[in-house]
Amino acid sequence: MPLSTRQSVIIALIVASAYFMENLDATVIATALPHMAATFGVTPVGLSIGMTAYLLAIAVFIPISGWVADRFGQRSVFGGAIVVFTGASVLCGLSNGLVEFTVARILQGVGGAMMVPVGRLAVLRSTEKHHLMRSIAYITWPGLAAPVVGPALGGFISTYFSWRWIFLLNVPIGLLGLALTATFIPNYRASTHRPFDVSGFVLSGVALICLMYGMELVGQLHSDWRITVAALTCGAGAAALAIRHLGRAAHPLIDLSPWRIPTFRVTLDGGSLYVVSVSVSPFLLPLLFQLGFGLNSFAAGLLVLAYAAGNLGMKSVTTPILKRFGYRNVMIVNGLLTAATIAMCSLISPSTPRVLITLVLLIGGLCRSMQFTGINTLAFADVPPARMSSASTFFSMVQQMTIGLGIAFGAIALHAAVLVHGNHAQLSLADFRVAFLLVAVLVLISVLYFIGIEPDAGREVSGHTRTASR
């Protein structure tokens, strides 16, 4: 049931804080790996299992989040997820060995898997549709900013303080979030209890684990291609069986029926392609600045912060823009602008003025933020309240997959460029140019889906009318 405007805004800000904490932890340790590896007495490559375990745990447990929230209540589950995530953060910060660190990261992943879709569900249920865009904008920016800020922040903390503070800083955020959750988030739960779909959980879990692991192997230059193919094949087969089961089961773990809603389907299909393409940038840009420009990791991180600034800067104007021009027009034009800014990244070089590079990244961040808000709000514009839980779970699961696929696509694009240029010794500036152009093409393909959006789609959320755009 929608709540007062003040309370719905507070709930959105609580969820946004939890999202930022969860998204930051997914990327912040990337630049801290050498320091952590030295503490544990292992190689940085060996320590990457901590990142993998975290992402796989999220992938496995996202599908059950909707069922758990309906059964035990959204406040109980969201608050419990914060407790698990914060407690696991403490265990990560106190770890002195690889095994205990990996176990703690798995616990973090379980908490994160519950926070993302259940938090979104709490926002959707508490917000009137005409205020939905503002609330979704609040919870969208953490997912945009954290992957960009994370590596630079992790490098700074591990260099000038201790890598343990990366995890211990979650404690005050988690405690504050827990107190606010208990105060402001209602404990809505479904009036009827669905039986737990064991087959759906097993099939979706196997599919997500294999696909996520396979995509990570694709992103590694020296991985065994046989293991990669086996993981992806197993994942695709399990996914096909899962879809077949979920479509026929009387009480499926994930209800696939929201996909039949036109606005949900177009944002899931076209939006997934867009998310894949823009998820490549936080992966490619630091590599470009370090390997192509010769900058150190901290200087490269500072440049990429312009991208994050664009993400945050767009938040205040997304609502009036969508109200004035409507979802269809904005998502088409903004998609084209995104493709243009990514293509421009293929033209920059060490001699390009830093001001111009910063401007390109800033505009790219603005476009990325605009499109993410459009995708995340239009997806739920026509979903009835009874399907919100399944729609949120379904959407979160697909988005988690597309982010992983984005990193894999960036690696594939770089590998393809290396094959074209025949320089296997090291990545060159020309390789990055080809990779960025391939990513820009993928964005253009996503725009084709947005062309099919009805002119008045999502008008209840955006407030747009045809006369308003004349």
In the chain, the amino acid numbered 12 is A
CATH class of 1-183: mainly alpha
Query: In the chain, where are the structural domains located?
Result: 1-183, 254-470
294 dihedral zone (left: phi>0; alpha: psi -120 to 50; beta)? left
Provide the CA 459 distance to its chain's centre, in angstroms. 26
Q: Find out whether 84 and 111 touch, Cβ atoms under 8 Å.
A: yes
Q: Residue 11: CB partners within 8 Å, gap ≥ 6?
A: 3, 122, 123, 126, 127, 135, 184, 185
Q: Can you give the pLDDT at residue 470?
A: 47
Find out whether 430 and 416 touch, Cβ atoms under 8 Å: no
In eight-state DSSP terms, residue 285 is H
Residues of the chain with pLDDT under 70: 1-5, 26-27, 30-31, 33, 43-46, 48, 143-144, 147-148, 151, 219-222, 297-298, 404, 421-427, 465-470
Contact between 245 and 203 under an 8 Å Cβ cutoff? The reply is yes
Which residues touch 275 (CB under 8 Å, ≥6 apart)? 372, 375, 399, 402, 403, 406
Q: Give me 178's structure tokens.
A: 């827990």
Helix (H, G, I), strand (E, B) or coil at 138: helix
Q: pLDDT value at position 148?
A: 67
Claim: this prediction has a pTM higher than 0.95? no
| Polymer length in residues for the chain | 470
Q: Rounded to 5 degrees, what are φ and ψ at 88?
A: -65, -35
* Shared fold status for 1-183 and 254-470: yes
Burial of 432 (0-12, 13-18, 19+ CB in 10 A): buried
The rounded distance, in Å, linking the Cα atoms of 23 and 149 is 10
**How far is it, in rounded angstroms, from Cα 466 to Cα 274?**
26
Please choose, from the candidates 6, 390, 317, the residue with its C-alpha nearest in 3D space to the C-alpha of residue 133: 317
Which residue, 23, 21, 12, is CA-closest to 138?
12
DSSP character for 196? P
Of the candidate CATH numbers 1.20.1250.20, 3.90.850.10, 1.20.140.10, 3.30.750.24, the domain formed by 254-470 belongs to 1.20.1250.20
- What number of helices (H) and strands (E) belong to the chain? 20, 0
In whole angstroms, give the CA distance from residue 236 to residue 120. 28
One-letter amino acid at 33 equals L
Q: Is 92 exposed, middle or buried (0-12, 13-18, 19+ CB in 10 A)?
A: buried
Read off the amino acid at residue 401: M
**Extended beta strands in 95-222, E state:** none
3-class DSSP state for residue 28?
Answer: coil
Q: Are 75 and 114 in contact (CB under 8 A)?
A: no
CA distance 342 to 363: 10
Answer for the pair 462, 322: CB distance below 8 angstroms, yes or no: yes
**d(Cα 260, Cα 394) in Å, to the nearest integer?**
13
For residue 387, the model assigns a pLDDT of 80
Residue 340 has a pLDDT of 94
